[in-house]
Chains A and B, each alone.
Chain A
């Protein structure tokens, strides 16, 4: 009986850690969106720096959780059949957290000067990217409890990624037709691509997730 209780206590702890890991992702995506909004309005001020620090903290906490989850899965030889998939999922989601962090650092270090007419484009792009990541987070959670629901979330990730691409392309066209220096154009394009690449990664993770879910269903 003691063994049984011990077994389920450990199980619950690990479940909570996995849930907490995905919480970090959703939290980071919300803070990222707010940080970009602040930057577009007021530049790299204290508020922006605070949000950057928060995303940093979330990335570190997620890293810590990832190591704990990996160690626990291996040490206790849990889910032998899906272990590789779960570790793959967690590691690729870690890349997303890294991209959120990297993007904000780039804004903080390079402080791109974004003309007013492009700001709504950046805001829309960020909104779409964050939506893609949010749907991915929901899909990843669903993988653990109801893999049958994963395709519905993945479908939305693809949809938001495509929208982000459309917005990004439109924004780049706008930038390159504007009457500004080429160096500035290139700098602005770099940031469009950096933000858009987060949605691309979300799509890549969703593709993997689709396979993992199929394996679980079969």
Chain B
């Protein structure tokens, strides 16, 4: 039985998970649901199942990198780190600023590092920041490649319009499932990653399999994401078209697939091991922004179709998010930790 106090401490991470599920499920299934290609209920079920699978099976990679940035050893410290990230996400979303849980949690961890005089690993931080810049660019490049391949295939294949529509629907469901898996794998670190060193669970033996304490923590975080998907994502999915501009179902499929590939690349330990075993440079396992991956893909598609050039306002907002979100979360975390330690007398490090 988990101590109720532990659950209270975990609640900030679960809140962050709920917020992630509410918003980021729209990146995976928003266009499919918005264009009525997939029913919301179908999308919500697939999204929840695959987020949970991704988090439990493949969530460790990106979490490990966050751990290297700052291993928060006390539950109250982890609580405040996740809470300040959640508050930063909430307030910035309310102010209409683009925000990513990945950037918020990194800022909050640095805030904890500063408060506890724990040195921040410069090379890990540099890797993370570089990844944030690379993520939308890579997503855009992948989207351009995918769209070109799809256009070539449809020209050669001479598939009937009605059949192509059916394939697109199926593709959106498969890409959505893959996207949800990648989202769970990549972003679970944001939700409960900071609790790993201080988490209260113990390993469970299931026959020959071990359900590790970290996996149990990830399951809990993923359930919070799923709750966010079911309770709040419908409205976000329905209005996603307004924010991102009208997408055709084919473009939606390309955008979701590119987003999912990018999130997967930055989360897959299997791929990392394969690249390393073949003497190839590895891809850092870092939590990245699902929204920025989708926006990168859409900008790529727009450039290829000649409908628009580089959307400077979108780029400006992304860059503002990179700078402002970690900064706000870091300050909030620092102040919050001060209160927890000096007012409530809790050990935060």
- Chain A residues with a Cβ under 8 A of chain B: 4, 7-8, 11-12, 14-15, 18, 77-82, 86, 143-146, 148, 216, 218
* Contacting residues of chain B (136-192) with chain A, CB-CB under 8 angstroms: 155, 158-163, 165-166, 169-170
- Name the one of A12, A81, A86 contacting B249, with C-beta atoms under 8 angstroms: A81
With a CB–CB cut-off of 8 A, which chain A residues contact B161? 79, 82, 86, 143-145, 216
B36 located at the interface, meaning its Cβ lies under 8 Å from any Cβ of chain A in the complex? yes
Q: Which of A8, A12, A144 has the most CB of B within 10 A?
A: A144
Contact with A along B196-233 (1 / 0, CB 8 A): 00000000000000000000000000000000000000
Asked if A218 and B305 sit within 8 Å, CB to CB, the answer is: yes
B37 located at the interface, meaning its Cβ lies under 8 Å from any Cβ of chain A in the complex? yes
**Alpha-carbon distance A4/B173, docked complex (angstroms):** 11
With a CB–CB cut-off of 8 A, which chain B residues contact A12? 163
B248 located at the interface, meaning its Cβ lies under 8 Å from any Cβ of chain A in the complex? yes
Asked if A146 and B166 sit within 8 Å, CB to CB, the answer is: no
Asked if B158 and A7 sit within 8 Å, CB to CB, the answer is: no
Q: A11-B162, A77-B36 are in contact. List 15 more A-B contacts (CB 8 A).
A: A4-B170, A7-B166, A8-B166, A11-B165, A15-B163, A77-B37, A86-B161, A144-B161, A144-B162, A145-B159, A145-B161, A146-B155, A146-B158, A216-B161, A218-B305
With a CB–CB cut-off of 8 A, which chain A residues contact B160? 15, 144-145
Chain B contact residues: helix, strand, loop or mixed: helix
A-B contact pairs, 25 of them (CB 8 A): A4-B170, A7-B169, A8-B163, A8-B166, A11-B162, A11-B163, A11-B165, A11-B166, A12-B163, A15-B163, A18-B162, A77-B36, A77-B37, A78-B162, A80-B36, A80-B37, A80-B249, A81-B35, A81-B249, A82-B161, A86-B161, A144-B160, A144-B161, A144-B162, A148-B155
CB distance from A88 to the nearest CB of B (A): 14
CB distance from A181 to the nearest CB of B (A): 53
- Chain B minimum-CB-distance residue to A11: B166
With a CB–CB cut-off of 8 A, which chain A residues contact B166? 7-8, 11
Counting from the closest, the 8 A-B pairs by CB-CB distance are A11-B166, A144-B161, A145-B158, A77-B36, A79-B165, A146-B158, A81-B248, A15-B160
Contact with A along B20-64 (1 / 0, CB 8 A): 000000000000000111000000000000000000000000000
Asked if A7 and B162 sit within 8 Å, CB to CB, the answer is: no
CB distance from A83 to the nearest CB of B (A): 9
With a CB–CB cut-off of 8 A, which chain A residues contact B169? 7
**Alpha-carbon distance A7/B170, docked complex (angstroms):** 9
**Alpha-carbon distance A145/B156, docked complex (angstroms):** 10
- Chain A minimum-CB-distance residue to B161: A144
